[in-house]
Structure 1
Amino acid sequence: MVDGKLVGVHEVNVELADGTFKTYYYAWRGKGAPRIFPKPGTKAFTQEFVRLTRDREKKVKEKTVAEGTIGSLIDEFVKTAAYQTLAPSTRRDYERQFETIRLQFERFPVQAIEARGSRKLFLTWRDTMKDAPRSADMHIALLSRLFSWAKGNEDILRNPLEEVERLHEGTRRDIIWSDEQLTKLIAEGVPHLRDVALIALWTMQRQADVLTMPTIAFDGDRVSIKQGKTGAKVRVMVAPDILPGLRKAKEGEQQRVLVNSFGQNWTSSGFRASWRKEMKRLGITGVTFHDLRGTAITYAYSHLDRSHAEKIKLISEISGHSEADAETIIRKHYLAGQEVIDAIGRGTKKHREV
């Protein structure tokens, strides 16, 4: 054994042609075991051992998952094109949640999913995680998404987890930026952060999609965006307030529309740190960058000259929200819409005059 922590490493001493002996290391004992080439005792050796044994465990697991079970549904679901187009960070989150689901329901029969009483069984399991309500909600939401896919695939006839109430009440849908906060951000924010906020506000896109937006996405009138979280593709007409910045980026040599104060591409951690520091300097509290999307939805709804249903559909297509979520935001904040519009107008007017 090379290292007590690396259980299973197999050593083989081989006599060479010159009479000397050399030790070869394998990830496990037996025919077909892969050789570990890095030097024993090094970090590279450990990493290679972990990689080889993890892949082996995964292959063994894939062979032992019984057909017609929730485990097999998960295996099929993660191979779909829709799942593979999700952002890598989203897939990593889902994989962790699926591991928890597998521990409880790996061999649960598919036929039993639609049986009477299954909803209560799944919700009882969720309630065992009630001390971490947000995590509990995410696990049951993913299980519901799996069942929804299975229903659409005609593996089951009903999804027992439709319209499940959340345990966690801390939704950001109830929060939008106030008149004072928007005015302060747009009028007094440092340019490299204010510009990020303006593009997020006028395109309704998520932080990651805004920060990574390439200059080639702008064609002179619209920006084409593939949303990292959902994989959805949208084309957004550019508002006059962000048109100069997009044109400047297009004419320059930068690869992305938005860069930091050093003219370099933003990193997610770098942006978050800069954003927190700027919010503290401006004295803006109680709202997040993500809340700009809900604020923009309120703004858009009050300006669209369409029926209610048409407005909801158009907004959800651009923002990436579901129609239900978009409507929740609007019903909550529509009366405050004009205040938000006035704030944006005043702030951007000051920005243009500078």
Structure 2
Amino acid sequence: MIDTPLVSGIHDKAAKKIGWRRANMVRTLLSEVFRYNIPKGLIEVNYAKDVIPKRRPRDRAYANRPWNIEERDIVLPRAKPHVHVALALMMNTGLDPTDALKLRKDQIDEDTIWGVRGKTGEEVAIPISPTLQAALDLFPDHEAETVLASSRGEAWTYNGFSTVWHRFKIKLEDEGLIAPDLTLKGMRHTVATTLREAGLDERRIADLLGQKTPSMARHYSRSANLAEKNRETMATLEKEKERRAKIVKPSLKSVKPDQSEDQK
């Protein structure tokens, strides 16, 4: 007989065997199955609804932590040009790595990036900061339709860029320059954290990161006001990064990005 105690027991066993996160996924799956079958008369109650989700263990580190200024100043100057511009794009927009790599040239209109966040389908309008513009201006022209490209002038695949990033990161780790938990997605968290600490409310940050409820029927024209508001948000991000940079004593000499070729 299926009942809530049975589902709760399954949930507990799953947590011990496959971890708290996957156990919660099992609970969610069962809940959806029950919910779908109630109107069909196959079951009367959603027995998973009242099962309490497992919490993240307190001693477990959060994935994709924000980068600090020292890490930014270590990584960017040492990155090869095709990696450098990709990191600069993610770091100065809060774009998810997948969205950044897929960003097309025709999605940039003068000083604004227009797009749709892949995960949520939410429209984004991101002003291009002077820092990002400088990085884009230094990037060699290429034939790919995307803004970013490999050293061969071809659009990046996510796996291709991840491989190059991983090799580069491991090298820095081996040299003792960065901690081993630095991730590409962490740069998105960096933008959100920096703006939150600068005093911006969560709604404005969500607007910049494309975290609102999806609405695929919108047109770019309707985002005109959003773009202007995000311009103020981006200005806050720039000012906060400059303020933080001034209070951190430089520990490394500034070097230009490595001009050697990278491998896709």
TM-score, scaled relative to structure 1: 0.49
One-letter amino acid matched to 1:292: M
One-letter amino acid matched to 1:225: G
One-letter amino acid matched to 1:193: V
Alpha carbons 1:177, 1:340 under 8 Å: kept: no
Residue 239 (structure 1) aligns with:
129
Counterpart CA distance in 2 for 1:263 and 1:252 is 5
* CA positional deviation for 1:160: 2.8
Counterpart CA distance in 2 for 1:287 and 1:353 is 19
Given candidates 113, 119, 123, the residue that maps to 2:8 is: 123
SS at match of 1:260: coil
Residues 217 and 160 (structure 1), Cα distance of their counterparts in 2 relative to 1, 3 Å cut: same
* CA positional deviation for 1:273: 0.9
* CA positional deviation for 1:244: 3.9
Residue 135 (structure 1) aligns with:
22
Alpha carbons 2:90, 2:96 under 8 Å: kept: yes
Residue 227 (structure 2) aligns with:
none
Q: Per-residue displacement from partner, 1:165-207 (whole Å, max 9, x unpaired)?
A: 335645326x222332111012222221121111111211211
Is the aligned partner of 1:183 residue 2:73? Answer: yes
Residue 342 (structure 1) aligns with:
245
What does 1:158-169 align with in structure 2 at a 5 Å threshold? 160=49, 164-166=53-55, 169=60
Q: Per-residue displacement from partner, 1:283-338 (whole Å, max 9, x unpaired)?
A: 2322211111111112222345x5xxxx2111123224589xxxxxxxxxxxxx87
SS at match of 1:256: coil
Counterpart CA distance in 2 for 1:193 and 1:241 is 16
* CA positional deviation for 1:129: 1.4
* CA positional deviation for 1:272: 1.2
* CA positional deviation for 1:279: 0.6
Is there any run of 5+ residues in structure 2 with no aligned partner, and where? Answer: 38-44, 214-239, 259-264
Counterpart CA distance in 1 for 2:28 and 2:206 is 20
Alpha carbons 1:207, 1:289 under 8 Å: kept: yes
Residues 213 and 147 (structure 1), Cα distance of their counterparts in 2 relative to 1, 3 Å cut: farther
One-letter amino acid matched to 1:204: G
Given candidates 230, 242, 256, the residue that maps to 2:146 is: 256
Alpha carbons 1:260, 1:266 under 8 Å: kept: yes
Counterpart CA distance in 2 for 1:170 and 1:192 is 31
* CA positional deviation for 1:164: 2.6
Alpha carbons 1:144, 1:162 under 8 Å: kept: no
Residues 249 and 183 (structure 1), Cα distance of their counterparts in 2 relative to 1, 3 Å cut: closer
Alpha carbons 1:204, 1:296 under 8 Å: kept: yes
Residue 295 (structure 1) aligns with:
190
Alpha carbons 1:215, 1:255 under 8 Å: kept: yes
* CA positional deviation for 1:254: 3.0
* CA positional deviation for 1:340: 9.2
Counterpart CA distance in 2 for 1:211 and 1:204 is 13
Alpha carbons 2:23, 2:54 under 8 Å: kept: no
One-letter amino acid matched to 2:105: T
What does 1:86-235 align with in structure 2 at a 5 Å threshold? 118=4, 120-130=5-15, 131-133=17-19, 134-142=21-29, 160=49, 164-166=53-55, 169-172=60-63, 175-235=65-125
Residues 250 and 231 (structure 1), Cα distance of their counterparts in 2 relative to 1, 3 Å cut: farther
Counterpart CA distance in 1 for 2:31 and 2:210 is 20
* CA positional deviation for 1:256: 0.3
Q: Which has the higher Rg, Structure 1 or Structure 2?
A: 1
Alpha carbons 1:218, 1:224 under 8 Å: kept: yes
Counterpart CA distance in 2 for 1:351 and 1:162 is 55
If each structure's helix is expressed as a fraction of its own residues, which one has the higher value? 1
Aligned-CA RMSD value? 4.3
Residues 188 and 280 (structure 1), Cα distance of their counterparts in 2 relative to 1, 3 Å cut: same
One-letter amino acid matched to 1:342: A
Identity of aligned residues (%): 21
One-letter amino acid matched to 2:245: D
* CA positional deviation for 1:148: 9.4
